[in-house]
Structure 1
Amino acid sequence: MTAGASVVRAVTLILIVVLSGSSSLAQKPKKDGSLKNVELCNGSDRVPPEARIDGCTAFIDAGEGTPNGFAIAHNNRGNAYSAKTDYERAIKDFDEAIRLNPTYAKAFNNLGVAYLRKGAYDLAIGAFEEALKLNPNYGAAFANRAGAYLKRNAYDRAERDYDEAIRLDPNLGSVWSGRCWARAVLGALQAALEDCDRALQSESNNAAAYDSRALIHLKMGRLSAAIDDYNSALRFAPKLASALYGRGVARLKLGDRSGGDADISAARRMEAGIGEDFARYGVPQGD
């Protein structure tokens, strides 16, 4: 998607952006301080990003590891930089990890995530494709590439990638919500509805799933149900312009002119092109 609230929702709500977690450094440090650095660099998300960065940097600077060990350290530091939204440094680390180990599928996936978060969608897709060449059963890479295709308005390709992600790992976060959105836009409404229901069974506070299901109801003419779901989406994401706009359209169709106009005006103040986005999804603009 190139503009409008759906850009925001696809990135921040539906998009999975599954970073492949820290790999483990299989090193035998000579000093206690080195062991601590390895532990920090191997750290999970429970370790603050700054501490992980410091641990990985100390390990790399010590120069006592193997090429594969350094590749893992650069990947783990890249994940920490991504957690801090410092994508330029993250990309440099993932590139270095790949240079040191060209078969490192995780690093390709994580590189794609960093590009995706920067808005470099073609580069992101290319990185995910490399990850999938190395590991054709990489569910997270399929899910992430699906998110990149959503950004490119390639809903059919996104749907196919979500199909693969779900086949390989049905418990990946937000895959059901993502496929629901793609199917809703494509017009496969009943299948989309089933996906959103599945997403909400496991995550009842998923604003994206409520927003997607509301669009389905709107396209089916179930206006009251659409408003209910838009209300739920806005409860969890109050600044979600797509939910405001969709609720406004539903209210107008039900004869609530003042409420509908207020919602649509508020949505357009957030995202000027929101009406054009909805027209592309098969919902005429509310005027």
Structure 2
Amino acid sequence: MKFALTSLALGLLVLSGCATPPPPVAPDAALEKLDAAIAAQPDSAELRARRGHRHAELAHVGPAMADLDAAVALDPNNPTARKFRALLLHGAGRQAEARADIDEAVRLRPDDIRAVSARCVIRVAQERTEAGLEDCRRAQQLDGLKAVALSATAQAQLLLGRPREALAGFDAVLAVQPNFMRALYGRGVARQALGDGAGRDDVAEALRRLPGAAAEFLPASAS
């Protein structure tokens, strides 16, 4: 029932027209720099992982996954590749694969706030219990951008069917990091789950400013 609420909320985004097909790959300064760097260092797993993540931020899911798969093939022990592929797999609803990647990313770099925060969300999505929140609590104690850990906590609350708690969490993130577009997207989902149609505006603005803002959220088809 709790997960049904989240799926319903995300489904509403699709039905309302806020979710749009991924755009074609367009010129991007960061991608162009990464293309040049990879041309010079074609066997760099780190560079391919970073290009894959940039593709994901632009909602270029196919190229993103291709780069991240290539990065892991080049170096299975690259924590950046494992972390970013786990996030993309989670957004695709492939939780078992996402969990394997994120567990490896945390093993390789246990104090990476982004990886530990991501494991919180992925564990909650896979296990459907509060156990994963322990990773969110640990992430909040690590060095790094605290908004990452706080936003992950709010996302986990959303997955647990607690949109009110999720909304409070996303609001707290945006109060200190107003340009954190994944939190703005999450707030839009939470607001819609609570019956607030203005959440569509949050979602639309988040996707306008960061086309891949939804990439790390569980798809509506997951249950």
> What secondary structure, in the 3-state scheme, does the structure 2 residue paired with 1:279 have?
coil
Larger RCO (alpha carbons 8 Å, 6+ apart): 2
Higher-Rg structure is 1
Q: Conserved in 2, the CA contact under 8 Å of 1:244 and 1:267? A: yes
Partner of 2:81: 141
Query: Which of 200, 213, 221 matches 1:265?
Result: 200
Deviation at residue 151 of structure 1 after TM alignment:
4.9
Aligned-partner SS, 2:110: coil
For the 8 Å contact 2:188–2:201, the answer to whether it is kept is yes
Query: AA paired with 1:87?
Result: L
Per the TM alignment, residue 174 of structure 1 is displaced from its structure 2 partner at its CA by 0.5
Q: 2:103 matched to which residue of 1?
A: 163
In the TM superposition, residue 140 of structure 1 has moved relative to its aligned partner by 3.0
* TM-score (ref. length: structure 2): 0.64
- Tell me, yes or no, if structure 1 residue 122 matches structure 2 residue 59: no
Give, in whole Å, the separation in 1 of the partners of 2:172 and 2:190: 13
Q: Does 1:174 align with 2:140?
A: no
The DSSP-based 3-state class of the residue aligned with 1:137 is coil
- Indicate yes or no: 2:32 matched with 1:88: yes
Residues 1:244 and 2:188 aligned together: yes
Question: How far apart are the structure 1 equivalents of 2:187 and 2:72?
Answer: 33
TM-score (norm 1): 0.52
**Partner residue, 1:108:** 45
Q: Which amino acid aligns with 1:267?
A: D
Deviations 1:182-227 (A, max 9, x none): 2233343323211111112225853343333224334445555333
Q: Determine helix, strand or coil for the equivalent of 2:124.
A: helix
Residue 141 of structure 2 aligns with which residue?
A: 201
The answer to whether the 8 Å contact 2:68/2:81 transfers is no
2:168 paired residue number = 228
Query: Are the equivalent residues in 2 in contact too, given 1:6–1:242 (CA < 8 A)?
Result: no
What is the CA–CA distance in structure 2 between the aligned matches of 1:91 and 1:183, rounded to whole Å? 33
Corresponding residue of 2:123: 183
Provide the rounded CA distance (Å) in 1 between the counterparts of 2:53 and 2:156.
27
Q: Number of paired residues? A: 184
Q: How far, CA to CA, are the matches of 1:233 and 1:171 in structure 2?
A: 21
